[in-house]
Amino acid sequence: MKIFRNFKEIIDFAIESEMDEIQFYSELAETMERKNVKQLFRSIVLEKTARTLQLENMKELGVLLDIESVHDLKIAGTFSDIDYTKTNLSYQEALIMAMNKEKEKFILYQELADCTNDTKCKQTFLCLANQEARQKLKLEIEYDEFILHDN
């Protein structure tokens, strides 16, 4: 596991991670045929772009974002692994892949929060975890409305 020596390194790590996800969701949006799914992934790109700007501001100001509780529908936890190398994803596969990706980031930030004794760092990781949980919830709602209810 990566070792962080200070608050700035945490924020830099989070920014790099968000940039990777911006690329992931941008590419995923371009492969989707359904307009609503394409729009969902593009909206996640915009949210992650905004989060990157927030993180840059946090780094400069040393200010934390608010931490609030996020509801979990626990849909993402019910799927087996999906082939991340597959390029022609169905709507369902794309949502599953995205939910799993957000879940992994949530777990990573939770684990990093557990590994630090520094209050500011812990709060930062918990805040980042909650933001990932919010995006996972958005994807779970989409899955619930358009996949589970259609079956």
Whether the pTM exceeds 0.75: the reply is: no
Better-scored residue on pLDDT, 24 or 149: 24
Residues 6+ positions from 141 with CB-CB distance below 8 Å: 73
Q: What pLDDT score was predicted for residue 71? A: 46
The DSSP-derived string for the chain is: -----SHHHHHHHHHHHHHHHHHHHHHHHHH--SHHHHHHHHHHHHHHHHHHHHHHHHHHH--PPP---------GGG-----TT-SS--HHHHHHHHHHHHHHHHHHHHHHHHT---HHHHHHHHHHHHHHHHHHHHHHHHHIIIIITT-
Look-up of token digits 């500011």: 120
The answer to whether 24 and 41 have CB atoms below 8 angstroms apart is no
In the chain, the domains with their CATH numbers are 7-148 (1.20.1260.10)
CA distance 140 to 46: 18
Q: Calculate mean pLDDT across residues 49-76.
A: 63
Mean pLDDT of the chain: 79
- The mean-pLDDT minimum among 26-30, 37-41, 51-55 falls in 51-55
